[in-house]
Chains A and B, each alone.
Chain A
Amino acid sequence: MLDVDRAVTRLAGKLWIYLRILEQFVTDCSGFTESMGQCLAKQDRKGAMRLAHKMKGAAGQTGAKALYEMAPELQKVVGTQPIDIALEKLAEFEKRIQQTVAAINVFLLSQGVQTAPDPQPLSEPPKIPPDDFLESIQHHALKGRFSQLERIINDLEGKDRDFAVFCEVIRKHIRNYDEAAIAAYIDRWR
Chain B
Amino acid sequence: MGARPSKGTILVVDDDLLIIDMLRSCIEDQGYDTIIATSGETAIARAEQNTTDLILLDVVMTGMDGFEACRRLKARKKTRSIPVIFMTVLADTENIVNGFKAGAADYVTKPIRIPELLARIQTQIELRRFQAALSAKNRKLKQEVGKRLQMEKQIRFLNQELMRTQERERHKIAYELHEKVAQDLVALKIIASDIFDHEPPLPEERHEKTAAFTKGLETILHNIRTMTHQLHPQMLDIFGIERSVAAYCQDFSAQHALPVDVDCAGFTDRRFDMDTEINLYRIVQEGLDHLVQYAIPERAKVRLNFDDERILLQMENEGGDVAFDDRAIEITPANSLGLRRMQERARLLGGRLTIETRSVPGNRVVIDIPVGKKNFQEPAEYL
Contact = CB atoms under 8 A, between A and B. Distances in A.
A143 B48 CA distance: 10
A50 B60 CA distance: 8
B interface residue count range (under 10 / 10 to 19 / 20 to 34 / 35 or more): 20 to 34
Interface of A: 7, 10-12, 14, 16-17, 20-21, 24-25, 28, 47, 50, 53-54, 56-58, 60-62, 68, 142-148, 175-177
A147 B49 contact: no
Contacts of A147: 24, 28, 33-34
Contact of B18 (A24, A47, A53): A24
Given A53-B89, A60-B110, A14 B46 contact: no
A144 B21 contact: no
B17 A176 contact: yes
A175 B110 CA distance: 22
A78 to B, nearest CB: 15
Contacts of A54: 15-16, 60
Contact of B25 (A20, A62, A68, A144): A20
Contacts of A57: 16, 19, 89, 110-111
B25 A177 contact: no
B89 A177 contact: no
Contacts of B34: 146-147
Nearest to A9: B113
B18 A28 contact: yes
B35 interface: yes
Secondary structure call for the A interface? helix
B89 A11 contact: no
A41 B60 CA distance: 22
B18 A143 contact: no
Nearest to B61: A50
A144 B36 contact: yes
9 contacts: A14-B25, A24-B17, A50-B60, A50-B62, A54-B15, A57-B89, A143-B50, A144-B35, A146-B36
Contacts of B112: 10, 61
Contacts of A10: 111-114
B211 interface: no
Contacts of B49: 142-144
A16 B22 CA distance: 10
Nearest to B30: A12
B37 interface: yes
Contacts of A58: 16, 18-19
Nearest to A175: B17
Nearest to A54: B16
A17 B115 CA distance: 14
B35 A14 contact: no
A53 B62 CA distance: 11
A165 B60 CA distance: 36
B29 to A, nearest CB: 7
Given A17-B22, A54-B16, A56-B89, 16 more contacts: A10-B114, A20-B22, A21-B21, A21-B22, A28-B18, A53-B89, A57-B19, A57-B89, A58-B19, A61-B112, A143-B35, A145-B33, A145-B35, A146-B24, A147-B28, A148-B33
A47 B63 CA distance: 10
A12 B117 CA distance: 10
Interface in B299-357: none
Given A17-B26, A144-B35, A145-B50, A177 B20 contact: yes
